């Protein structure tokens, strides 16, 4: 099991969220206490908390933070205020669908229970309980994805992963790293190549840190080395996570994932995506329609405090790219695998999971 827990709720109602401050890793392990909505928006935007499932959990707790000190309002007024809070949180990151999924879930739950709440405090307590259910369900989903994915891993395999899709990116043991943790629990000896994942080095700073903490053999390579290690026959399979999966199986993930997928296809290496059903966006037909967040140029020009690009030179900094479904060997979910995904297969799994209306 991973040795970290990226997010917790401290106390009861009127408590706060506590996050691992991921921008400081691996040099320092410090915790960030988030006590209000602006603090949660800031934490999500600047990647103090990151990874689609963890952002969803953080958003759910953010909704609680937004109303727990407003419980003197009437229940109808508090519901209107919750809508405003959720709109503010939704603006923090445009790509990770779990953010919007969690906020919609919190609003639906509030609307469903409001009639039975005597006052604003009762509604706030209901929302805290719902946020804690979101968190617990994510941890359970991570375990189930890990068990399904571990079936794809044989003893002695070397795996490659991009970005960070482990415990630091979820409310549990991770998405892409969960099969590795379960495989290790099963006694399988594995090793992992972690792409640096430029420009913010989530692979070098975070993935290598948590795999090392868990006692799994890990080596960091630059993004540009992935093709070489595949060419040398050093990689048996690729495991990555996702921030949004379109209805046709196109996968949006951290920038550079598409490159890894193309290289894997060229070298005959299986390319697996591990993500919960909440990461699927049934309203988006294909990856072409997924909004891609473009982040500040300073992440490239002045990464980690030192200028590496000449003054006056332009920068293009998309945070994500889209891998077409045709390059995906299988998507691993908590409900099982979607092999060679396409729209029909994705819709079938979403219906099985109760995340999509039955076909008429």
| Catalytic residue positions, numbered | 243
69 annotated as belonging to a binding site for a ligand: no
**Annotation-wise, does 52 bind a ligand?**
yes
Count of C-beta atoms within a 10 Å radius of residue 154? 11
Burial code of 29-58, b = ≥16 C-beta within 10 A, e = fewer?
A: eeebebeebebbbebbeebbbbbbbbbbbb
> Taken in order 270, 271, 275, 280, is the CA torsion positive or negative?
negative
Q: Is 51 annotated as a binding residue?
A: yes
93 among the known binding-site residues?
yes
Structure token pair of residue 65: 């933070």
Sheet holding 16-20, edge to edge: 7-10, 16-20, 31-34
Say if CB 195 and CB 261 are below 8 A apart.
no
> Is 146 assigned to a binding site?
no
Question: What is the gyration radius of the CA atoms in the chain, in angstroms?
Answer: 20
Q: Please give the Cα distance from 51 to 31 (Å, whole number).
A: 17
CA distance 131 to 125: 10
Is 351 annotated in a binding site? The answer is no
98 is in an annotated binding site: no
Both tokens assigned to 32: 């960030």
Strand partners, 34: 17
Q: Which two tokens stand for residue 26?
A: 């691996």
> Which residues fall in the annotated binding site?
50-52, 93, 202, 253-254
> Which residues fall in the annotated binding site for substrate?
50-52, 93, 202, 253-254
């Amino acid at each position: 099991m991973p040795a970290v827990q990226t997010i917790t709720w401290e106390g009861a109602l009127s408590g706060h969220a506590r996050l691992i401050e991921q921008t400081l890793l691996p040099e320092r392990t410090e915790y960030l206490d988030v006590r209000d909505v602006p603090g949660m928006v800031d934490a999500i935007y600047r990647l103090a908390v990151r990874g689609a499932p963890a952002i969803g959990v953080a958003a759910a707790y953010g909704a609680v933070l937004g109303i727990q000190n407003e419980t003197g309002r009437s229940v109808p007024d508090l519901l209107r205020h919750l809508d405003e809070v959720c709109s503010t949180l939704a603006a923090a990151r445009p790509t990770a669908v779990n953010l919007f999924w969690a906020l919609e879930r919190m609003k639906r739950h509030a609307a469903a229970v409001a009639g039975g709440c005597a006052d604003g405090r009762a509604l706030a307590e209901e929302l805290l309980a719902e946020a804690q259910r979101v968190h617990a369900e994510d941890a359970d989903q991570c375990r189930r994805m890990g068990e399904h994915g571990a079936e794809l891993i044989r003893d002695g395999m070397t795996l490659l992963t991009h970005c960070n899709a482990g415990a630091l990116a979820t409310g549990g043991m991770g998405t892409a790293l969960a099969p590795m943790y379960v495989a290790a629990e099963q006694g399988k000896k594995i090793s992992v190549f972690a792409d640096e994942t430029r420009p913010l080095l989530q692979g070098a700073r975070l993935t290598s840190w948590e795999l090392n903490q868990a006692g799994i053999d890990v080596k960091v390579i630059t993004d540009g080395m992935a093709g070489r290690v595949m060419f040398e026959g050093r990689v048996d399979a690729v495991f990555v996570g996702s921030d949004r999966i379109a209805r046709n199986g196109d996968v949006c993930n951290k920038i550079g994932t598409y490159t890894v997928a193309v290289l894997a296809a060229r070298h005959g290496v299986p390319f697996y995506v591990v993500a919960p059903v909440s990461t699927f966006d049934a309203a988006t037909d294909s990856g072409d329609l997924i909004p891609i967040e473009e982040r500040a140029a300073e992440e490239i020009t002045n990464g980690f405090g030192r200028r590496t690009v000449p003054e006056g030179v332009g920068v293009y900094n998309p945070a994500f790219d889209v891998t077409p479904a045709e390059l995906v060997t299988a998507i691993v979910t908590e409900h099982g695998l979607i092999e060679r995904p396409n729209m029909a297969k994705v819709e079938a799994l979403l219906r099985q999971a109760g995340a999509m209306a039955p076909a008429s």
